[in-house]
């Protein structure tokens, strides 16, 4: 009896399927060591692709961690737009600037202002108000002209406005915001910001007027050394060293105000019109030309600096100089009002009592009277 062709075909097909299943099973189950098929021979020599690259131009040996580390340190890329600053994704020195600005710098500035007020209060408790020892004479002498007082008050009032609006930038979130709330603090801060920008030009004008008006009278002379050696008689009664129109202490204040104010104007101008000038690079180069490494002295990295770093330096410098000048103004306001009797009249009316002038500026009174008693009258006076 013979099998039919149809039956032979069915048996052959079954055998073929079993063979295929066995082959697939053997391929899926590794025999022996699983890594033996991929481990190179012991005597094989590893050959790296030239330049660390492999076909297809991928990153090769550079890991993602290395890439992001470079970006974090400020490594620039490439951009198709005109502003090349956009090629830097992370401006790494900005973190240092933020930590300094929001950390110890503003803490120290706040402590410095508080310490100044405490010292002035302690001095007032020790010395009291400096009186006119011989009493008011009833005669007046012109100390400052109307133009001089106009320049002084323009500079003074604008500086007070700038100081208050600038302090809001530094301490407003910690002091003002909790008091008035977020809804009011936003518009309030925006108003002060705009005010700060425009009043700055009034301060520049007042500073220029004060410099032109008083620079010749603030050149040091022999009387200043005597005045400084005796501290102007501030700590002792009945000791008033001779002085011309401005004594040694006033001259120090004048030059500190001029230099500090000019520095404020430069850094403020850089902040008003950013990325236009490299003030700090030019300043550091000037010091470097005379052998002074100013960046190293104040703990800054060596130049060159990016435009963004220039802005960061300007903001820090602007804040530091402003706080120092605010502390100076605290002392100036104290002496001109509560600290010394009759001193406010000099900038209030422009005239001071003759006895007051003789006690504090005796050489100036003698020179003024010798020139023809100009500005000396017999009008009555009021005590302050």
299 phi/psi in degrees, rounded to 5: 80, 30
| pTM (predicted TM-score) | 0.73
Tell me, what DSSP letter sits at residue 50? G
Instruction: Assess contact for 283 and 294: CB atoms under 8 A.
Output: yes
Burial 192-227 (b: 16+ CB within 10 A, else e): beeebeebbebbbebbbbbbebbeeebeeeebbeeb
> What are the structure tokens assigned to 368, written together?
């003024």
Residue 329: which of 128, 148, 117 has the closest Cα?
117
The predicted pLDDT at position 107 comes to 86
Helix (H, G, I), strand (E, B) or coil at 364: helix
Give Cα 90 distance to the centre of its chain: 21
Task: Name the CA radius of gyration of the chain, rounded.
Answer: 39
The predicted pLDDT at position 51 comes to 54
Helix (H, G, I), strand (E, B) or coil at 196: helix
Tens of pLDDT along the chain (384 residues) come to 455 555 555 655 666 666 665 655 545 545 444 444 445 555 545 555 555 555 555 555 556 777 777 777 767 777 777 776 677 777 777 777 788 777 788 888 999 999 999 999 999 999 889 898 888 898 999 999 999 999 999 999 999 999 999 999 888 888 999 999 999 999 999 999 999 999 999 999 999 999 999 999 999 999 999 999 888 878 777 678 889 999 999 999 999 999 999 999 998 998 888 877 666 767 777 777 878 887 777 777 777 777 787 888 888 889 999 999 999 999 999 999 999 999 999 999 999 999 999 999 999 999 988 876 545 554 444 433
The predicted pLDDT at position 383 comes to 39
Instruction: Assess contact for 353 and 136: CB atoms under 8 A.
Output: yes
Helix (H, G, I), strand (E, B) or coil at 350: coil
Max intra-chain CA distance, the chain: 160
d(CA 314, CA 266): 9
DSSP string, 105-163: IHHHHHHHHHHHHHHHHHHHHHH--B--TT---S-EEE-S-HHHHHHHHHHHHHHHHHH
d(CA 78, CA 85): 10
> What are the structure tokens assigned to 41, written together?
């021979």
Peptide bond before 289: cis, by omega within 30 degrees of 0?
A: no
The predicted pLDDT at position 235 comes to 79
DSSP string, 342-377: T-THHHHTSEEEHHHHHHH-HHHHHHHHHTT-TTB-
The predicted pLDDT at position 211 comes to 97
Give Cα 252 distance to the centre of its chain: 23
Place of tokens 């103004």: 329
d(CA 93, CA 315): 14
Compute CA distances 349 → 8, 198, 345, 384, whole Å.
131, 28, 5, 12
Helix (H, G, I), strand (E, B) or coil at 353: strand
Tell me, what DSSP letter sits at residue 273? S
* 39 Cβ contact list (under 8 Å, min separation 6): 33
Helix boundaries (H) for 176-240: 177-180, 182-214, 222-229
Helix (H, G, I), strand (E, B) or coil at 44: coil
Residue 384: which of 357, 345, 330, 347 has the closest Cα?
345
């Amino acid at each position: 009896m013979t099998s039919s062709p149809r039956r032979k075909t069915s048996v052959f097909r079954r055998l073929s399927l079993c063979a295929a299943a066995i082959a697939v099973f053997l391929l899926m189950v590794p025999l022996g060591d699983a890594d033996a098929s991929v481990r190179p021979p012991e005597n094989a020599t590893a050959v790296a692709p030239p330049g660390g690259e492999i076909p297809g131009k991928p990153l090769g040996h550079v890991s993602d961690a290395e890439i992001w580390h470079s970006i974090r340190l400020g490594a620039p890329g490439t951009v198709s737009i005109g502003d090349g600053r956009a090629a830097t994704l992370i401006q790494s020195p900005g973190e240092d600037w933020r930590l300094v600005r929001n950390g110890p710098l503003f803490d120290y500035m706040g402590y410095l202002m508080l310490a100044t007020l405490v010292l002035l209060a302690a001095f007032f408790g020790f010395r009291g108000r400096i009186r006119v020892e011989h009493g008011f004479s009833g005669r007046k002498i012109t100390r400052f002209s109307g133009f001089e007082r106009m320049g002084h008050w323009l500079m003074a009032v604008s500086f007070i406005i700038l100081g208050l609006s600038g302090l809001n930038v530094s301490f407003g979130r910690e002091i003002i915001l909790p008091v008035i709330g977020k809804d009011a603090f936003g518009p309030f801060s925006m108003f002060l910001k705009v005010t700060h920008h425009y009043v700055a030009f009034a301060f520049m004008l007042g500073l220029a007027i004060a410099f032109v008006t008083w620079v010749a009278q603030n050149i040091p002379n022999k009387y200043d050394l005597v005045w400084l050696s005796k501290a102007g008689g501030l700590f002792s009664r009945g000791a008033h060293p001779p002085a011309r129109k401005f004594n040694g202490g006033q001259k120090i204040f004048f030059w500190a105000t001029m230099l500090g104010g000019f520095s404020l104007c430069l850094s403020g101008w850089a902040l008003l019109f950013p990325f236009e000038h490299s003030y700090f690079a030019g300043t550091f180069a000037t010091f470097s030309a005379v052998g002074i490494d100013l960046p190293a002295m104040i703990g800054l990295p060596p130049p060159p600096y990016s435009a963004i770093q220039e802005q960061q330096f300007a903001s820090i410098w602007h804040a530091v100089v402003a706080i120092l000048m605010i502390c100076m103004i605290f002392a100036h306001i104290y002496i001109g009002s509560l600290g010394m009797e009759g001193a406010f009249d000099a900038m209030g009316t422009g005239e001071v009592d003759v006895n007051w002038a003789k006690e504090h500026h005796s050489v100036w009174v003698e020179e003024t009277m010798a020139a023809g008693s100009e500005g000396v009258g017999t009008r009555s006076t009021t005590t302050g």
